Every structure is written in structure tokens, then in C-alpha cells.
Amino acid sequence: MIDKAAIIHSSAKIAAKVTIGPGTVIGPEVEIGEGTWVGPLVVINGPTKIGRDNKIYQFASIGEVPQDLKFQGERTFLEIGDRNIVREFCTINRGTAQDKSITRIGNDNLFMAYVHIAHDCEIGNHTIFANNASLAGHVRVDDYANLGGFSGVFQRCRVGSHSFATTGSMIIKDVPPYIKVAGSYAKPYGLNIVGLQRHGFTPESILQLRRAYKILYRKGLTLKNALLELHAMMSECPRLEQFIQFVEASTAGITR
């Protein structure tokens, strides 16, 4: 199932039932898991490990060296999990020695055309990156986050789970879980109600998260005092624990 016009390095490890299209180049130290489909004219360089049942479309560049002038040829890595879809012209770079030397992508993610994932990023599971969404280096995107087209995330920021960034959002601070942001620079605009409903959040949970959002963003409280109120209501809404932990752990500061 490997086209005769594909170029496969002798050190690459290709599992069973892998399809590789014509003109695709698989470099040294690349490992591709069973059932993965790689279209024509894709370039994958290593050290890169790709899991099972992924789909990588034409003209994608996977595992290339970082776009970072500090990179001096150190041995760094890219790991991609299972069942991800990588559409046309996506670029996903390896890590740098200045961080953990690895870029990591989880499972069941969709990267639409022209998405860029820079060095040392960490992507969770079930995320969606619309066309031309871009991450700078050292960014973390948690499970079920959704980045709209032409959105961008500044280096070392974190995007929380079940959050949503609208088209053209420029994110320069951490985005807490469950909320929706928009604009350049991105500001909060309530909860990601539609996303929460789609992923099984009960009406009661959503109501409690609305209360939490108002405490953090609408009451004019300092962050310290807002967190005190949020802790007091945590027993009423278990989902709130993740929200509070995210805000307390933020090093870049949260979008406000």
C-alpha cells in the first residue's frame, strides 16, 4: 500500500495497513502506526512518531525543524497520537532543547488546512483547529478546545478545555476552560454554551458555570476575591474544580 513513487528512508518504521501516496517523502527516524493514511506529496521528517489510523493529506509538512533561531540542530521530537486528521498544507514542528525537546499531539484532533503547530506545543484530545489557526511555540491546548479560522495563540499561553475562540481571535493570555473569546486582542464573551451542550454538560452544570463566569468577569472583583467566592461554591458544581485549578495555575495571566 506504499506507492512506488514514494521515497521512504531505510530507518523509517512503517506498520501494517499503512497507505503512502505518490511523491511523499518519509525521512529517517519516522515511525507510522497501523492503519494510518498518508496522501501524496507529504513530507514527514524525524525523529517523529505517528500513531494509528491517522489521515494526513497532501502537502502537509510534519516533523520539520522548529522555526526558532535558537535551534542549533539538537535532537528533538514530535509525537502524534491516534485518529487525527491533518488537512492540506498543515505544518507541525518538532520541539526545542530550550523546553522539553518535544511537540506532542493527542488523539482525535482535526487540523484543517494551513494550520500551524509550532515547536514544543502540547495538544490534547478532540480539539478542532479551523483553517489557518496558528500556535506560537510552547502553547498548550486542552481537550475539546476549538480555535476558529485565522486565530492565533501567543507563545507560552494555554487554552483551556471546552473553550472556543471565534474567527480571527488573537490570544495573548490564558483562556480558562468553558469560555468563549473573540477579538484582537481576545476578550471573554460568556460561556461556550453550544460546545458544553454538545459534550453532555447538564443544564444544572451550565447554570453553575454561568454563575462562576459572572463572579470572575462581571462583579468587578480582584482575582483573589473572585477565587474565594468560586471555592465557596465548588461543592455545588464538580465541573468548577477544573476551572479554578486552571485560573490558579496560570502563569501568563488569564484573558479578562
Q: Are residues 23 and 123 in the same domain?
A: yes
Q: Are residues 131 and 222 in the same domain?
A: no
Q: Please give the pLDDT value at position 235.
A: 85
Q: Are residues 40 and 127 in the same domain?
A: yes
pLDDT in tens, the chain (256 residues): 899 999 999 999 999 999 999 999 999 999 999 999 999 999 999 999 999 999 999 999 999 999 999 999 999 999 999 999 999 999 999 999 999 999 999 999 999 999 999 999 999 999 999 999 999 999 999 999 999 999 999 999 999 999 999 999 999 999 999 999 999 999 999 999 999 999 999 999 999 999 999 999 999 999 999 999 999 998 888 899 999 999 999 999 999 8
Interatomic CA distance for residues 91 and 137, integer angstroms: 13
Residue 154, C-alpha cell as written in the block = 501567543
Type of residue at 246: F
Q: Are residues 130 and 221 in the same domain?
A: no
Of 89, 118, 138, the position where a domain reaches its end is 138
Q: Are residues 132 and 207 in the same domain?
A: no
Q: Please give the pLDDT value at position 147.
A: 98
Per the CB < 8 A criterion, the answer to whether 245 and 227 are in contact is: no
Of 138, 167, 183, the position where a domain reaches its end is 138
- Tell me the CA distances in angstroms from 219 to 31, 157, 215, one per residue in order: 52, 25, 5
Q: What is the 3-state secondary structure (H, E, C) of the chain?
A: CECCCCEECCCCEECCCCEECCCCEECCCEEECCCCEECCCCEECCCEEECCCCEECCCCEEEECCCCCCCCCCCCEEEECCCCEECCCCEEECCCCCCCCEEEECCCCEECCCCEECCCCEECCCCEECCCCEECCCCEECCCCEECCCCEECCCCEECCCCEECCCCEECCEECCCEEEECECCEEEEECHHHHHHCCCCHHHHHHHHHHHHHHHCCCCCHHHHHHHHHHCHHHCCCHHHHHHHHHHCCCCECC
Q: Are residues 14 and 85 in the same domain?
A: yes
Q: Please give the pLDDT value at position 237.
A: 87
Q: Are residues 132 and 205 in the same domain?
A: no
Q: Note whether residue 74 is domain-resident.
A: yes
Angle between helical axes of 203-217 and 223-232 (0-180°, round to 10):
150
Q: Note whether residue 151 is domain-resident.
A: no
Interatomic CA distance for residues 84 and 146, integer angstroms: 15
List active site positions.
119-120, 137
Q: Please give the pLDDT value at position 229.
A: 94
* CA-CA-CA-CA torsion sign (190, 195, 198, 201): negative
- Tell me the CA distances in angstroms from 69 to 47, 172, 209, one per residue in order: 19, 22, 42
Q: Are residues 37 and 128 in the same domain?
A: yes
Q: Tell me the longest C-alpha to C-alpha distance in the chain.
A: 65
Q: Are residues 134 and 11 in the same domain?
A: yes
Total number of domains constituting the chain? 2
Residue in the structure block whose three cell numbers are 489521515? 55
Q: Note whether residue 57 is domain-resident.
A: yes
Per the CB < 8 A criterion, the answer to whether 135 and 116 are in contact is: yes
Full domain range(s) for residue 81: 7-138
CATH number of the structural domain spanning residue 93: 2.160.10.10
